[in-house]
Amino acid sequence: MIDLEVPRRLRPLVESAAAMADEVFRPISRKYDRAEHTCPTELDVMAALIDGMGRSGASGGAGATGAAKESPKSSQDKGIRNGANLSSVLSILETSRGDVGLTLSLPRQGLGNAAIAAVANEEQKLRYAGRWAAMAITEPSAGSDSGAIRTTAVRDGDEYVLNGEKIYVTAGERAELVVVWATLDRSLGKRAIKSFVVERSNPGLRLVRLEHKLGIRASDTAAFVLEDCRVPARDLLGDPEISTAGGFGGAMQTFDNTRPLVAAMALGLTRACLDLTRELLAAEGVEIDWDRPGAVQSAAAARLLQLEADYASARLLTLRAAWMADNGIPNSMEASMAKAKAGRTCVTVALACVELCGATGYAERELLEKWARDAKILDIFEGTQQIQLLVVARRLLGLTSAQLT
């Protein structure tokens, strides 16, 4: 059974990530919000620190690179794993409390790294180790419906030739690799979709533009065109044998691991908003009494109590989804629950905190207005709120995507 306490062996990781948020990310947060598309060079040392924690084994894997799908436990294995997925969630929660955009800008901690950890074979994991990978799924005509991907991959000898367009690729300019989702045969629908690891330097992968965004401006968001982009066959992610029966299911396993990570980002930002708002209100004489019901406290205190309860429920859902992944338990529904709850809670809390703090919350003298801008993307990427609820409904009702759309 899941233990709600942070495992003892993961506490040094959580403390280090919290220190990074407070001492590195928070002081430069506004700087890179204003200097959009400027690479935060301060993060190079931090990335090396995370790499070191991951290699030491003490953390169980830190950052997005650590997330991986564990094999189901045998009947003889009665132990409980607190592994790479839980440690990744806990560390990302803390760094996102400092700044979500900077968390997404940490070298070698991209969502593509989580995709590789989730579905690559052992040889591929070794070959891509230590490299920064972005993930390219979304297309102009395929947003929430990943099964509608139009980018094609055609086998040509020992290579695949990729053609198509990808948009909203987080860390696309700075990453060394890009995990590109493409279809082997459009007529086969979702079954033919596979993911390919493409070198960022590949001449067939052309950067079109960097997006100017509402929030997470420290993180670059790129658009690419793939024109006769040749990729070695061994860079098809996962099993090198091509089997269209269930190919999309293998690619979709990525989301079971990355959705809890995005939920953790939302939790970190939510925690930051709540902590700062409580401090600002306390300075004005508004204190929360945790032992008294909200109905007998001030309106501001009652609202904060409600927001804290929403945060707690989102946190528990996220920890559960990560714990299930560590223990080889199918977690597709739980991962979507966590992402849906944490993303919506983050937006609600961020906007409520701006409102509670009035002019101080709306002005740039505090980070609350920035966090309100950053929050919205956490309810959108890695599957919108609506898609998460659709996944949950299908799982609860036992229906396929064809039966419930």
The more confident residue out of 50 and 390 is: 390
The more confident residue out of 2 and 384 is: 384
Provide the CA 197 distance to its chain's centre, in angstroms: 19
Quote the pLDDT of residue 115.
Answer: 84
Q: Which two tokens stand for residue 405?
A: 């759309």
Quote the pLDDT of residue 4.
Answer: 75
Quote the pLDDT of residue 77.
Answer: 57
> CA distances (Å), 306 to each of 24, 300, 355, in order?
31, 10, 15
Quote the pLDDT of residue 121.
Answer: 87
Quickly state the pLDDT bin for 62 (edges 50, 70, 90).
very low
Strands 221-232 and 205-210: antiparallel
Q: Which residues contact 399 (CB under 8 A, 6 or more apart)?
A: 393
Task: Reply yes or no on whether the pLDDT at 76 is more than 60.
Answer: no
C-alpha 82/C-alpha 323 separation (Å) is: 7
Lowest mean pLDDT among 208-217, 230-239, 265-274: 230-239
Tens digit of each residue's pLDDT (9 = 90 or more) over 23-58 = 999 999 999 999 999 999 999 887 777 766 655 554
C-alpha 396/C-alpha 384 separation (Å) is: 19
Query: What is the pTM (predicted TM-score) of this model?
Result: 0.92
What average pLDDT does the structure give for the chain?
Answer: 89
Average pLDDT over residues 80-99: 91
Task: Reply yes or no on whether the pLDDT at 269 is more than 90.
Answer: yes
Active site residues: 382
C-alpha 323/C-alpha 3 separation (Å) is: 9
Quote the pLDDT of residue 7.
Answer: 87
Could you give the maximum distance between any two Cα atoms of the chain, in Å?
A: 73
Residue (of 49, 43, 61, 60) closest to 104 by Cα position? 43
For domain 133-235, the question of CATH label 1.20.1070.10 is answered with no
366: left (phi over 0), alpha (psi -120 to 50) or beta: beta
CATH domain 8-128 topology:
Butyryl-Coa Dehydrogenase, subunit A; domain 1 (1.10.540)
The CATH number of 247-397 is which of 3.90.226.10, 1.20.140.10, 1.10.1030.10, 2.60.34.10? 1.20.140.10
Residue (of 296, 315, 238, 278) closest to 68 by Cα position? 238
Tens digit of each residue's pLDDT (9 = 90 or more) over 302-354 = 999 999 999 999 999 999 999 999 999 999 999 999 999 999 999 999 999 99
Domain with CATH 1.10.540 in the chain: 8-128
The DSSP symbol for 204 reads T
Domain with CATH 2.40.110.10 in the chain: 133-235
Task: Reply yes or no on whether the pLDDT at 60 is more than 60.
Answer: no
Q: What is the DSSP string of 208-275?
A: EEE---SS-TTS-EEEEEEEEEEEEGGGBSS-SS---TTHHHHHHHHHHHHHHHHHHHHHHHHHHHHH
Quickly state the pLDDT bin for 71 (edges 50, 70, 90).
low
Task: Reply yes or no on whether the pLDDT at 59 is more than 50.
Answer: no
